Amino acid sequence: MNNSDNQYPQMTYKQAFEYCKYWADKIRYKGIDLLTTGYSQVIVIYDQLAYTLYMQTWIDPQKYYHLYRVRTYAINIDTNYTDRALWEKLLELIDDLPEEYGKNNYPQMTYKQAVKHCKYWADQIRHDGLDLLTTDYGAAIGVSDKLAYPLDMQEWISAPRYPDIYAIR
């Protein structure tokens, strides 16, 4: 959302980071089991976390990729709140948020490790079967994130230099 008429208070990256960490603690305190069964609890989190992040006009996927993913998962939970995997992934994404913008703390793979990673997940996809992955959103997101996210975090992967791996991520 990039509406110049937006009057919603805008946070700094650091404030958004701390806000996400606060809500991750709240989610853990309430417990995922309660949140997957009680929509009234979900509404509070959705209104406070997802909506607040949604209204931050400066969060764009190219510049603030990690925070954008947190926002996307928080928004998706409203329609899929019974999916435990989404809650767990949201917490994982919040835990992985870099404290400082622009700082990538993710371990860097070698090219050989990246190829091995891709082959491993190709085998997992074959094992799970495309029927499952095209009908079970939680399974599909889990596989996609475990395949793509580590590749996205590799600073050395570029389209001109490594087009095969770049296309996978």
| pLDDT greater at residue 24 or residue 79 | 24
Closest CA to 89 of 107, 103, 75: 75
Average pLDDT on 125-151 reads 84
Q: What is the pTM of this model?
A: 0.60
Q: What are the pLDDT digits (tens) for 102-135?
A: 666 677 899 999 999 999 999 989 988 888 888 8
| pLDDT greater at residue 33 or residue 21 | 21
Mean pLDDT: which of 26-30, 82-86, 91-95, 143-147 is highest? Answer: 91-95
- pLDDT reading at 4 higher than 70: no
pLDDT of 98: 86
Are 143 and 133 a contacting pair, CB within 8 Å? Answer: yes
DSSP 8-state symbol, 47: I
Q: How far apart are the first and last CA of the chain?
A: 25
pLDDT of 144: 80
- pLDDT reading at 38 higher than 80: no
